[in-house]
A and B are shown apart, each in its own frame.
Chain A
Amino acid sequence: MSQPDFSHDGIRTARGTAFRYLFMLCALLSILTTVAIILTLLVDAVDFFAQVSLVEFLTGTRWSPTNEPTSFGVLPLISGTLAVTVGAAAVALPIGLLTAIYLSEYASERRRAYLKPALEVLAGVPTVVYGYFALVYVTPALDTFLPLSTFNTLSASIMVGIMIIPMVSSISEDAMSAVPDSLRQASYGLGATKFTVSTSVVVPAALSGIFSSFILALSRAIGETMIVAIAAGQTPRLVDVTDPAGLFLNSIQTMTAAMVQIGTGDLVGQGPAYKSLFAVGLTLFVITFVMNLISELVASRYREVYR
């Protein structure tokens, strides 16, 4: 990466040094951004926790920031987020993994050349458009055979799932392509079919990359905002795991949708309702940051293995 430094030859100019530091500043800006995110979230979240106890926030089972009596339990929002994430995972993980297997093991070079960009389009569609699709086309379509309410977890989950398919498929495919061909040849030499090679050799060998893609995709699903804000509604309630049908057919509220609701309201200033925006934001940031970090670390491990 780095070039030999010819500075001792005396041809390094002051201008070159200036540019070096200027560019370094640009790179350090990314660290400043992270610091700024943490500080902005922390400053207002600390204010919030001065008015509402951390214990109440983390263990309370009712989220009602504006309606009296106000209550700031984040559990209904977290459980709503989990519900959407589980639904999206049920759509995206199997489809994404099969897609990766197809692209890496079965598809011809030509077919892959147009399937891959077509899949990437899925990630490029603005999420507000997906939210609209879920509300206006998917919900009415599912409503013909399921007792759905206008806002429901099912449509939102399906749409979030479709959106994150390319995240699973492209990273998993990279991991599968990195599996050395000798492993495949050895398996073929034993008389294995392509099915056996794919599922018993390639997938296990690429498992850490696949795992990393799953975590990253789930992190995206947790942080996805507009789809759930439009299609899943604004009904914060604690998820009842014994009644999955009631859960997926009805409206819930996720952390991100709650943030949008507060953000579009007329709340300003110092009240706990407005400050709760930052407390929820901090919770969301911590969860997704940890997941992204795990995904990155797992991915960098498998990169080492086959190099």
Chain B
Amino acid sequence: MAADTRDAPADSGFGQVSRTKDIAFRLLALAATLVGIVSLAALLANVAVDAVGWLDWGFLTSPPHPDPYEAGFLPALIGSIAIMLVIALITFPVGVGAAVYLEEYASDGYLTRFIQLNIANLAGVPSVVYGLLGLGLFVGLLGFGYGTVLAAAFTVGLLILPIIIIAAQEAIRAVPDSQRQASYGMGATKWQTIRNVVLPRAMPGIMTGTILALGRAIGETAPLIMIAAPTTVFGMPNSLFSKVSAMPLQIYNWASYPQTEFQYGVVAAGVVTLLVVLLTINSIAIIIRNRYQQRT
């Protein structure tokens, strides 16, 4: 007993339990949990207030302009959506393919572990470095052109690919093994089992992960700067080789303007638009996830 009281902190001894400290710690931990959420909410409230009067139909449907009252967001909005669609077309099949291989085919050997570790590491490579990869590989070596839709989509696509693979792997892993065994029992081949049983069951999870990754892609700025995407364009992209801007790039550009009309008006409107698009994308992902959860 003597050893117990010496090892344990004083407040844990019988008869002298400190409820005050316990409650104080509980409140401290709760306060810490709320710090980030509350500060973000406060900043969002600020930007929403500032955007009032600036975020209107004219802002959403006109091109950028040096006069803050004329400035619009349309080319950046369309640019972001165009880049995102191409990214989805490129990354979805590759990401799902890689996940299927790792979960269904690969044995538990060194190569698989190495690929897995490598994917985890790729997810942590700074986005600005992916920009340099895009600059060297897609702009330099393959000649997609500085700041084109295609160069932007490939660069940001590689950036979000690890996220899609990891999400797809989790979705595939969640398919119960009994269903695969049942399929094999019916005489199906491995490929038939994957196509008819595993993928349909995993699809809602894969879709959710992909859409969330696309949401991440829409906010990426640094890689686009590195592949020399223009921070402001005035026209719409009309081919894969058009120079393209994106919402975050346009916001970055506007934020460097000294006029308060830009700092507290136009940029705020741009930020709100970007966040609304992002929120819409994430809500779609959540709706898909909820539908799926209710069904099972």
Size band of the B side of the interface? 35 or more
B125 / chain A contacts, CB cutoff of 8 Å: 37, 223, 285, 288-289, 292
Q: Let me know if A131 and B137 touch, CB within 8 A.
A: no
Among B103, B119, B226, residue most surrounded by chain A Cβ atoms (within 10 Å): B226
11 new A-B contacts, CB < 8 A, other than A23-B97, A223-B126, A288-B126, are A23-B98, A24-B105, A26-B98, A29-B98, A30-B165, A31-B114, A31-B118, A190-B4, A192-B8, A195-B21, A263-B225
B140 / chain A contacts, CB cutoff of 8 Å: 40
A195 / chain B contacts, CB cutoff of 8 Å: 11, 18, 21-22, 25-26
Interface of B is mostly: helix
Instruction: Tell yes or no: B12 within 8 A of A by CB.
Output: yes
Instruction: Tell yes or no: A182 within 8 A of B by CB.
Output: no
Instruction: Tell yes or no: A301 within 8 A of B by CB.
Output: no
A:181-229 near B, CB below 8 Å: 187, 190-196, 198-200, 216, 219-220, 222-226, 229
Q: Let me know if A37 and B133 touch, CB within 8 A.
A: yes
Asked if A11 meets B228 with Cβ closer than 8 Å, knowing A192-B8, A288-B125, the reply is: no
Instruction: Select the stretch in A53-61, A69-77, A100-108, A245-253 that faces chain B.
Output: A100-108
Assembly CA distance A29 to B256 (angstroms): 38
| Total residues of chain A contacting the partner, CB 8 A | 101
Q: Let me know if B129 and A102 touch, CB within 8 A.
A: no
B206 / chain A contacts, CB cutoff of 8 Å: none
Q: Let me know if A196 and B9 touch, CB within 8 A.
A: yes
Q: Let me know if A128 and B221 touch, CB within 8 A.
A: yes
Instruction: Choose one: A30, A229, A281; the contact of B162 (CB below 8 Å).
Output: A30
A193 / chain B contacts, CB cutoff of 8 Å: 11-12, 17-19, 21-22
Q: Let me know if B132 and A281 touch, CB within 8 A.
A: yes
Assembly CA distance A201 to B256 (angstroms): 50
Instruction: Choose one: B17, B32, B108; the contact of A94 (CB below 8 Å).
Output: B32
CB distance from A30 to the nearest CB of B (A): 5
Q: For chains A and B in complex, what number of residue pairs have CB atoms within 8 angstroms?
A: 302
Instruction: Tell yes or no: B158 within 8 A of A by CB.
Output: yes
CB distance from A217 to the nearest CB of B (A): 10
Asked if A40 meets B115 with Cβ closer than 8 Å, knowing A30-B98, A281-B128, the reply is: no
A187 / chain B contacts, CB cutoff of 8 Å: 12
Asked if A5 meets B190 with Cβ closer than 8 Å, knowing A128-B248, A281-B132, the reply is: yes
Q: Let me know if A1 and B108 touch, CB within 8 A.
A: yes
B:1-59 near A, CB below 8 Å: 4, 8-9, 11-14, 17-19, 21-22, 25-26, 28-30, 32-33, 35-37, 39-40, 43, 46-47
A30 / chain B contacts, CB cutoff of 8 Å: 98, 115, 118-119, 122, 161-162, 165
Query: What 9 A-B pairs have minimum CB-CB distances, sorted nearest first?
Result: A126-B219, A223-B126, A40-B136, A26-B97, A98-B32, A23-B101, A102-B29, A16-B191, A292-B124
B130 / chain A contacts, CB cutoff of 8 Å: 37
CB distance from A102 to the nearest CB of B (A): 4
Q: Encode A115-154 as 1/0 by CB contact (under 8 A) with B.
A: 1001101101111110111011110000000000000000
B26 / chain A contacts, CB cutoff of 8 Å: 102, 106, 194-195
Q: Let me know if B128 and A260 touch, CB within 8 A.
A: yes
A165 / chain B contacts, CB cutoff of 8 Å: 35-36
